[in-house]
Amino acid sequence: VIGPRSFGREPHRVARAAAAALRGYREGGVLACAKHFPGHGATTVDSHLALPTCDADRATLELRELVPFREALHLSPLVMTAHVRYPALDPVLPATLSPAIVTGLLRGALGARNVVVTDAMEMKGVADLAPGGDGLLAALTAGCDLVLFGEWTPALDAALDGAAARWDARRAVGSTTTR
């Protein structure tokens, strides 16, 4: 699905190319974002249309998907999550909504201190599972710092108001504001 929008298929070559691009962006004054964590290349479904699944086992993910991120995380202030399900990492939730992936793997095992941003939450990869305010709360609970919505509607506004009433911001503000 990602195809020509990627740096290739070989993980170490992708890592080198991504690192070079991120350094160039930084030197040019551009704020870049490493994406889509923990990977999107091994999927065949477009997350704009449905929820893709990457069925790779944990060892394969370590050797393939995570290699470029290990290189890129220290070069980019931002990392964007993938609306992709990885049963080897979380048997139920896609990365964007998964505490095991965002907090456990990205922040914990990989030590990322980046600002974690979601992809657009109206994409079917998450919207069908957790629409509007439910998606917002799930992404924040997973450990995301910024939650993107591409189109603002009155229905979304109402859903987010409802979510805000249920969210205890004091839980997250400390760690998010330090990033």
Catalytic positions are 119
Distance CA 79, CA 101 (A): 13
Q: How far is CA 63 from the centre of its chain?
A: 19
Q: DSSP string covering 111-175, please?
A: ---SEEE---TTSHHHHTTS-HHHHHHHHHHHT-SB---SS--HHHHHHHHHHHHH--THHHHHH
Q: Are 126 and 82 in contact (CB under 8 A)?
A: no
- To the nearest 10 degrees (0 to 180), the angle between helices 132-142 and 154-166 is 40
Residue partners of 153: CB distance under 8 A and separation at least 6: none
